[in-house]
Amino acid sequence: MAVVDSNGLIADGWARLADDAPVPKGGSVVVSFARLKNEHNSLFSAATKVGVDIPSDVNLGELEPFLPRLGVIVVRFATMRDGRVFSVGRLLRERYGYAADMRAVGPFIPDQAQFLLRCGFTSFEVDDSYPVESFKRSARAYSVWYQRATDRAASVAELRQGALDGSKS
Amino acid sequence: MYIYDKFDHTITRERVAEFSQQVARRLTGELSEDQFRPLRLMNGLYLQLHAYMLRVAIPYGTLSSKQLHMLADIAKKYDRDYAHFTTRQNLQYNWIKLDQVPDLLADLASVEMHANQTSGNCIRNVTADQFAGVAGDEVEDPRIISEIIRQWSTFHPEFLYLPRKFKIAVTGAPKDRAAIQFHDIGLQIVRNDAGEVGYAVYVGGGMGRTPIVGPLIRGFVPKAQILSYLEAILRVYNRYGRRDNIYKARIKILVRETGQAEFTRQVEEEWPLIRDTGVDIPAGEEARIRAFFAPPAYETIAEPVVAFVEAKKKYPAFDRWVSTNVHPHKVKGYGAVTISLKPIGGIPGDASSTQMHAIADLADTYSLSEVRVTHVQNLVLPNVKQADLFAVWQRLGEIGFADANIGLVTDIIACPGLDYCALANARSIPVSQRISERFADLDRQHTVGPLQIKISGCINACGHHHAGHIGILGVDKAGVEFYQITLGGAGDEKASVGTLLGPGFPGDQITDAVERVVNTYLELRSSPTETFIEAYRRVGAAPFKESLYGRR
Amino acid sequence: MAQAKEEMKILTANRLRNGETVYYTAAGEWSPYVSQAKVAATPEDIDALTKIGAAAYAANLVVDVNVIDITPGGDVKPSHIREIIRASGPTVRSDLNKPAAPSQRS
Ligand code: SF4
């Protein structure tokens, strides 16, 4: 298991905690959403940093109360075609104002990298055999975009109008 | 026509580069077939029975003559010298080699074309009225919003992995020539009481296994806010559309299972939250795109055009062709010519590279270099001077595309069916050929009048059989091709789904069955001006059932 | 006649690189011609074909791999109409059809 961002491998301090494993004193742990809901008091007081692993059909309203205290949200692809992940990413960032690390995990392919980045994902959990070079290239496949997304990059329409306004002034 | 600027060129070029390396990674095995399939589909590339098939996008059915020349060149260079125009205003090549696709895409890009999102579970190529900009009855040219939607939907980061494919159609006129109520989203350009232009939004129509006429969910969305409204619909669908069952994954099922009122509520709840996030394009951008669709420099021509009137008198065959194949133009002295790609006994929608070049030449000489593709698999020369119609007709005769059958019984839609398609149950093309031959007599076709026959080779309904006045569906009955007949479908502003008449017919009996249906109509119509669909709506299915299956 | 009741099968696929419809031959190659297909008539041989197909798919040589029925007796002829059309080409374009066997000259 490795963790990457758009530039390649990164160090990762998060440890996954099984639902029946005791909470360590200190350290950074990622727990299931069920455990977060049941044990949030003890979790937040014991561990230094807490993250949660959520499925893509999560009820975001249920997650909302915990957001300010989470250090990572791991969003899980059910299959590589699980497009809900992209909406969940955008909503967490744009609607709920979640600002810490947001990580994709599951059978996504390198070719989805740039779209995930545009929807607010910041890190990616992959197998050790993952084609990281392809992932990095895909993260840069496009230099401009037709539409706005979470990354707030100006859309082509905005660039055009900026260019037009500029030429007028 | 829309013309690419540097941004469009950059994105198209980057797309070719991206797909080229995806192909390379597939060939080395870095990408498995399961991983590559969604990627190639998103680029319009299917594996069919005999080879790969590439579906090229013709956004809202508008082509320049230069583009059509290139499509013909590609047919010769990479395929077997012909191509197929589809019911979604696209073009398909049937004999494509995977390792040549990158070069082909680069050739397409050189004329501002691509194959983006012509398949896959994403927002597909948007379709529109083929008479956009030339029809007298339109509120506004639908190509403007169609181009805006094309750009917004291209590589939309959130909506490339939807539960299922997603089709948007636009009509600019109350007369719906784009079958909008059979689309996931149908937009009709309307004016509100204050005289402002906006959109009526229909959601959840579709064909396939569960044909549904899409309901209206909002009567008016202001023009400047349509993208945020679309984004709200797509987001609700992307989050809640079913992903557990491919046959229940279209938005029509979500709308039905959620309930139209509740679905609409969810969209209306999402919309204001999206509206201010920069989704909607700046006003200047709408104006920029609009400028590309400004009317071309038409000449001032007085009607009647004497030479045209004389030619009609002198050549009855020409007169008849004008009556079926020339649509009124909003500018005096012009007409919009529909070129029938349905010669008697031919393959609906197929054209050779020679024919495509000839049509592109006609467009250059007579139609301000523009060509349209219709969802009935025909082509249109939208801007022909009436004085030139005779010359156009003659030239079309030389290339075998002068049939005066638009809207008539031999103007048949047929999907590729089992002759090409990996999903097919039965062949469609030979059925259309036999029916076309049976009704070859033009006098008889004109006696029968407007009648749309639509044939699909399986329940996916690419041949729109649900919307056919007479619909034919191919099924596999223990390894033998059978054909079911539906009646009463319509894809216009009075959209309806056809009713299944009864058990299917084997291939050697389907032509007779269709002929019996047509003869029954001729016997029961109240007058020669009562069309097939009008008569069917008046009398219902019973007399037709009886003619096919006897009294029960 | 007992043999006519037996299952007879061949292995078919499309080449990954160019999409061409091909058949697995007795020589261990993939041929465009159905007549050259290796015929399996015993459960063991059919099983072997299935494995060969899976291996060729895994090796990224072919896609859409299927073991299909043929009609017993005489020339190798697929049973189902879909496969008959796949073997020879679209029935509506006889000019583009492929013969069952390579021509002598090539
Ligand atoms: S309707 Fe079926 S047979 Fe016809 S093209 Fe569509 S998928 Fe293929």
Decide if pLDDT at C2 tops 50.
Answer: no
Same domain, residue pair B446 and B529: yes
Question: What's the pTM?
Answer: 0.96
Q: Give the model's pLDDT for residue A54.
A: 98
Minimum-distance CB partner of A81 among B30, B121, B159 = B121
Q: Is residue B298 part of a domain?
A: no
d(CA B250, CA B258): 13
Domain count, chain B: 4
**CATH number for B374:** 3.90.480.20
Query: Looking at the domain that runs over A2-142, which CATH code has it been given?
Result: 3.20.20.70
Among protein residues, the one whose CA lies closest to atom 6 of ligand 1? B462
Q: Please check whether residue B363 lies inside any domain of the structure.
A: yes
Interface test with A, best of B14, B41, B161, B228 (most A CBs within 10 A): B161
Name the token pair of B90: 């696209």
The answer, for C82 touching chain B at a CB cutoff of 8 Å, is yes
- Checking DSSP bridges between strand A49-55 and strand A70-76, what pairing results, if any? parallel
Distances from the Cα of A100 to the Cαs of A33, A37, A39, A45, A121, in angstroms? 17, 19, 21, 19, 10
Q: Is the pLDDT of residue A168 over 50?
A: no
B94 lines ligand 1 (CB under 6 A): no
Measured between beta carbons, the chain A residues lying within 8 angstroms of B279 are 147-148
For ligand 1, whether the C-beta of B455 sits within 6 Å is no
Q: Is the ipTM of this complex over 0.85?
A: yes
Determine the distance from the C-alpha atom of residue B224 to the mean position of all C-alpha atoms in its chain, rounded to a whole number: 26
What does the pLDDT read at residue A25? 87
* Virtual torsion, Cα C22, C24, C29, C30, nearest 10 deg: 10
Tell me the shortest Cα–Cα distance from B56 to chain C, in angstroms. Answer: 18
Is B116 contained in some domain? Answer: no
Contact B5 A160 (CB under 8 A): yes
CB contact set of B346 (below 8 Å; sequence gap of 6+): B400, B433, B436
How close B407 comes to chain C (CA, Å)?
24
Same domain? B158 vs B261: yes
Mutation target for C interface from B23, B30, B33: give the one with most C CBs within 10 A.
B33
Could you list the beta-strand ranges (E) of B345-440: 350-352, 370-373, 379-385, 413-414
Determine the Cα–Cα distance for residues B123 and B159; give it in Å rounded to an integer: 7
CA distance readout (Å), A119 to A67, A112, A113, B43, C90: 17, 11, 10, 22, 45
Q: Is C92 in Cβ contact with B433 (below 8 Å)? A: yes
- Exposure of B435 in the CB half-sphere (CA atoms within 13 A): 35
Q: Chain B partners of A138 at a C-beta cutoff of 8 Å? A: 18
Closest CA in chain A for residue B32: A109
Torsion sign across C-alpha atoms B218, B193, B180, B518: positive
Q: Is the CB of B421 under 6 A from ligand 1?
A: yes
Cβ-based burial of A20 (10 A; exposed 0-12, middle 13-18, buried ≥19): exposed
Per-residue model confidence as pLDDT tens digits over A98-128:
999 999 999 999 999 999 999 999 999 999 9
Question: What local confidence, expressed as pLDDT, does residue A46 receive?
Answer: 86
C9 touches chain B (CB under 8 A): no
B403 domain residue, yes or no: no
Tell me, yes or no, whether B148 and B224 share the same domain: yes
Backbone φ and ψ for A30, nearest 5 degrees, come out as -105, 125
Chain CA centroid to CA B84, Å: 12
Q: Please indicate, yes or no, whether residues B174 and B215 belong to a single structural domain of this protein.
A: yes
B285 and B138 in one domain?
Answer: yes
Contact in structure between A90 and A149 (CB atoms under 8 Å)? yes
Give distance in angstroms: CA of B457 to centre of ligand 1: 5
Domain residues for the domain of B454 are 413-549
The answer to whether C94 contacts chain B (CB < 8 Å) is no
Same domain, B519 and B375: no
- Asked if residue B105 belongs to a domain, the reply is yes
- Chain A residues lying within 8 Å of B155, measured CB to CB: 115, 142, 145-146
Q: Is residue B301 part of a domain?
A: no
Do chains C and A touch, with touching meaning 3 or more CB–CB pairs less than 8 Å apart? Answer: no
* Cα atoms in the Cβ-side hemisphere of radius 13 Å centred on C35: 9
Contacts with A109 from chain B: Cβ below 8 Å: 31, 35, 39
Ligand 1 atom nearest residue B474's Cα? 3
Is B225 found in the same domain as B103?
no
B129: which residues sit within 8 A by CB, 6+ positions away? B135, B138, B142, B170, B171, B172, B173, B176, B177, B178
Regarding whether B147 and B61 lie in a shared domain, the answer is no
Determine whether the shortest distance from the Cβ of B416 to ligand 1 is under 6 A.
yes
Strands (E), chain A: 2-5, 8-9, 14-16, 28-32, 49-55, 70-76, 101-105, 123-126
Measured distance CA(B260)–CA(B266) in Å, rounded: 10
Q: What is the 8-class DSSP label of residue B368?
A: T
Chain A residues whose CB is inside 8 A of the B243 CB are 78, 82, 84
Q: How far apart are CA C102 and CA A87, in angstroms?
A: 54
Instruction: State how beta strands A14-16 and A8-9 pair.
Output: unpaired
* CATH number assigned to the domain comprising residue B460: 3.30.413.10
pLDDT in single tens digits along all 552 residues of chain B: 999 999 999 999 999 999 999 999 999 999 999 999 999 999 999 999 999 999 999 999 999 999 999 999 999 999 999 999 999 999 999 999 999 999 999 999 999 999 999 999 999 999 999 999 999 899 999 999 999 999 999 999 999 999 999 999 999 999 998 999 999 999 999 999 999 999 999 999 999 889 999 999 999 999 999 999 999 999 999 999 999 999 999 999 999 999 999 999 999 999 999 998 889 999 899 999 999 999 999 999 999 999 999 999 999 999 999 999 999 999 999 999 999 999 999 999 999 999 999 999 999 999 999 999 999 999 999 999 999 999 999 999 999 999 999 999 999 999 999 999 999 999 999 999 999 999 999 999 999 999 999 999 999 999 999 999 999 999 999 999 999 999 999 988 888 999 999 999 999 999 999 999 999 999 999 999 999 999 999 999 999 999 999 876
A97 in contact with B, Cβ within 8 Å = no
Measured between CA atoms, the residue of chain B closest to residue C95 is B80
Is residue B120 situated within a structural domain?
Answer: no
Residue B85 CA to residue B92 CA, distance in Å, equals: 6
| C-alpha span between B551 and A141 (Å, rounded) | 65
Both B276 and B319 in one domain: the answer is no
* Amino acid type, B242: R
Report chain C's mean pLDDT, rounded to a whole number: 91
**Rounded to the nearest whole angstrom, what is the distance from the C-alpha of residue B17 to the centroid of ligand 1?**
30
Determine the distance separating the centroid of ligand 1 and the alpha carbon of B7, expressed in angstroms: 36
| Ligand 1 contact via B348 beta carbon (within 6 Å) | no
Chain A positions in Cβ-Cβ contact with residue B19 (cut-off 8 Å)? none
The Cα–Cα gap between B276 and A151 comes to 15
Choose among A111, A148, A160: nearest Cβ to B288: A160
Q: Tell me, yes or no, whether B357 lies in a domain.
A: yes
Identity of the amino acid at B365: T
Would the CB of B415 count as within 6 Å of ligand 1?
A: yes
Within this chain, do residues B96 and B167 fall inside the same structural domain, yes or no? no
Q: Residue B48: its chain C contacts at CB < 8 A? A: 19
Chain B interface, best mutation among C22, C81, C94, by max B CB count within 10 A: C81
CA distance B461 to B273: 37
Rounded Cα distance, C61 and C13, in Å: 10
- Same-domain check for residues B45 and B181: no
Please check whether residues B311 and B384 belong to one and the same domain.
yes
Nearest chain C residue to B420, by CA: C90
